[in-house]
Amino acid sequence: MKLLKFDTVNPEEYLRNKVLENFEQISRMNRSEFLDFIISLRSNFSDFYTYNLRKLGWEAEEFFVTPYYIDKVADEMYGSRKKMMKIMNRIKDKIRPVRKRWILNVIRDYISTCKPDVILVREVIGLPSEFWRSYDDKALIVSRLAAPVPRYWSLTDFNLILTSTKAYKSFFELNGVETSINPNGFDGRILNETGNCAKEYDVTFVGGLGDRYWANRTKCVNYFAGKIDFKWWGYCGNKYPEDHPIIKSNQGITSGLDMLRIYKKSKIVFNDYGEIAENEGVNQRMFEVMGIGSMLLTREAENLRKNFPGNVFVTFSDEKDCLDKINYFLKNEKEREEIASAGQKFVLENYSFEKLMINLDQILKNSYRKKFPNTK
């Protein structure tokens, strides 16, 4: 079977910086070479799905919905016609505007060439979900969603939704859409790709802050940021003065291998969950930190007690408890590293993408046969 997975690089600014740093090299790349370049960054879920599905006999391919990759795809498909086609698209947009017309046209033509049995759209790629409906008679249309529901996205546009969040699973099923839990995980190839890293950071965090989606997380960081050696990478939705501890401790943006090396260099990595998770500890950061071999400090959640042994990370109950745990484990290196080692062992044995894709392989095939019962 053939699967085409649509994804993005988040944050887009990170990819833009990487393209600028390697502009001369990238300008000479064809589509396939540039795809390998994006995958090598290891941002978000990289090729962790498709690489491991190919081991199970799938023809599985990544498609990154970013202007840089779209341009390479258009070069390959249209050649010298690309320039005129873009001009015609702009003329049509002046007559009857269509949001992201060029991108949609390129993707439409690529799907026509690829003819996938399964279209997997992961997280927020910025396209209207109704676009995929035109392929409903040709392919299984799947969304993987564990973030705030995107704009222009409807659950009924998909045959199957994958999520790591039980709250989402219940909601989607109540609305009559087949939904399966697809846990986050870790790809063991990352360990070699990140190399050896000394522990140079006390406490780190990579992610978003702000009261819109991460009020509890932001409240916690606001409590300890000025009291310890803390560094974080990401965006903040709140406006703080320049001398505020949250602003002063911000190091810019990062993603992929650069982010994973930060985790590897950290004695403690702080984690908290977005409000949409309804206090369920499921985010990808947990598995990245444990998988890379650093100590995870994460907020208490009921599902953690059910699904994880007690020695693979440390939990906190509130801001004061969080700071107390930070101070304790910074002073107790042996205990801290024992927890980090146990966490890594547990994730590699139970949440490797290689094992997760064995389960997903069956979920996708069963859903496909249900939709297309006359297919061999």
- How does residue 8 score in pLDDT terms, banded at 50, 70 and 90? very high
- How does residue 146 score in pLDDT terms, banded at 50, 70 and 90? confident
CA–chain centroid gap for 212, Å, is 19
**pLDDT for residue 305:** 83
Give the CA count within 13 Å in the CB-facing half-sphere of 116: 26
Rounded CA gap, 184 and 352, in Å? 9
Rounded CA gap, 116 and 129, in Å? 17
Percent of the chain residues past pLDDT 70, beyond the cut: 98
Could you tell me which of 323, 303, 300 has the C-alpha nearest to residue 313? 300
- How does residue 279 score in pLDDT terms, banded at 50, 70 and 90? low
- How does residue 277 score in pLDDT terms, banded at 50, 70 and 90? low
- pLDDT at position 281 over 80: no
Rounded CA gap, 237 and 243, in Å? 16
DSSP H helical segments within the chain, as ranges? 12-21, 23-27, 31-41, 48-54, 67-78, 82-95, 101-114, 166-174, 189-194, 215-224, 245-248, 256-264, 284-292, 302-307, 319-331, 333-350, 353-371
Q: Under 8 Å CB-to-CB from 115, ≥6 apart: which residues?
A: 2, 138
- How does residue 182 score in pLDDT terms, banded at 50, 70 and 90? very high
Q: Over the range 161-176, which residues count as b (16 or more CB within 10 Å of their CB) and which as e?
A: bbbbbeebbebbeeee
Q: Under 8 Å CB-to-CB from 321, ≥6 apart: which residues?
A: none
- pLDDT at position 317 over 60: yes
**pLDDT for residue 275:** 60
Angle between helix axes 101-114 and 82-95 (nearest 10 degrees) is 130
Percent of the chain residues past pLDDT 90, beyond the cut: 87
CA–chain centroid gap for 354, Å, is 17
**pLDDT for residue 94:** 92
User: What domains can you pick out in the chain, each with its CATH number?
Assistant: 2-184+354-371 (3.40.50), 189-351 (3.40.50.2000)
Output the average pLDDT for the chain.
94
**pLDDT for residue 376:** 63
**pLDDT for residue 288:** 98
**pLDDT for residue 150:** 83
185-223 pLDDT, tens digit each: 999 999 999 999 999 999 999 999 999 889 999 999 999
322-364 pLDDT, tens digit each: 999 999 999 999 999 999 999 999 999 999 999 999 999 999 9
Contact present, 1 and 368 (Cβ < 8 Å): yes
**pLDDT for residue 166:** 86
Q: Which of 37-41, 46-50, 150-154, 308-312 has the lowest mean pLDDT?
A: 150-154
- How does residue 272 score in pLDDT terms, banded at 50, 70 and 90? very high
- How does residue 99 score in pLDDT terms, banded at 50, 70 and 90? confident
Contact present, 147 and 273 (Cβ < 8 Å): no
Which amino acid, one-letter code, is at 278? E
32-56 pLDDT, tens digit each: 999 999 999 999 999 999 999 999 9
**pLDDT for residue 302:** 83
